[in-house]
Amino acid sequence: MLDERDKKILTLLQDDASLQIGALAERVHLSVSACSRRIQRLEETGYIARRIVVLDREKMGVPTTVFALVKTTHHADDWIDLFRKVIADIPEIVEAHRLTGNYDYILKVVLPRVEHYDTIYKQIVRKVELFDVSASISMEILKSGAGVPVDYAR
């Protein structure tokens, strides 16, 4: 069970995982050793899945976002396994979700320019059969982040 200090630690680390343990401990009103033990427990129990560095997409040369909506007529496990492998091997595809509704999957693709999308599209369709792919270009990021709300934690 998480208490309010655990939730505060998780919130602060989501915002900046490089926060020094001393500064973190001070902000949650704990000693450094007590804060360190809590973080270790949060890692061991799986509340902290991993720590990552978020890169600046402009500086990395991939400022463009395209969302590809995919329809397929194939739903067997072997097709899904192949599709997962194909998209896993394409670093420009940074997220993929299976959907309900009119489309089966949505892919978030980051690119240097929108014209590069055709290269990614061809990499996919050469290896796996799709029924339909519809792409939408993001015009502006209104909200972005990997953080999740901590109030629902069990």
* Distance separating alpha carbons of residues 47 and 49, to the nearest angstrom: 6
Q: What's the pLDDT at 25?
A: 97
What is the helix (H) or strand (E) element at residue 122, kind and residue range? helix 117-125
pLDDT at 1: 84
Q: Record the pTM.
A: 0.89
pLDDT at 145: 83
> Cβ distance 106 to 93 under 8 Å?
no
Residue 106: per-residue pLDDT: 98
- CATH class, domain 4-44, is mainly alpha
Backbone φ/ψ region at 108: left (φ over 0), alpha (ψ -120 to 50), beta: beta
In order along its 154 residues, the chain shows pLDDT tens digits of 899 999 999 999 999 999 999 999 999 999 999 999 999 999 999 999 999 889 999 999 999 999 999 999 999 999 999 999 999 999 999 999 999 999 999 999 999 999 999 999 999 999 999 999 999 999 999 998 888 999 999 8
| Domain locations in the chain as residue ranges | 4-44, 57-137
CATH fold for the domain made of 57-137: Alpha-Beta Plaits (3.30.70)
> Please, which residues bridge with residue 76 across strands?
none
Equal fold, 4-44 vs 57-137: no
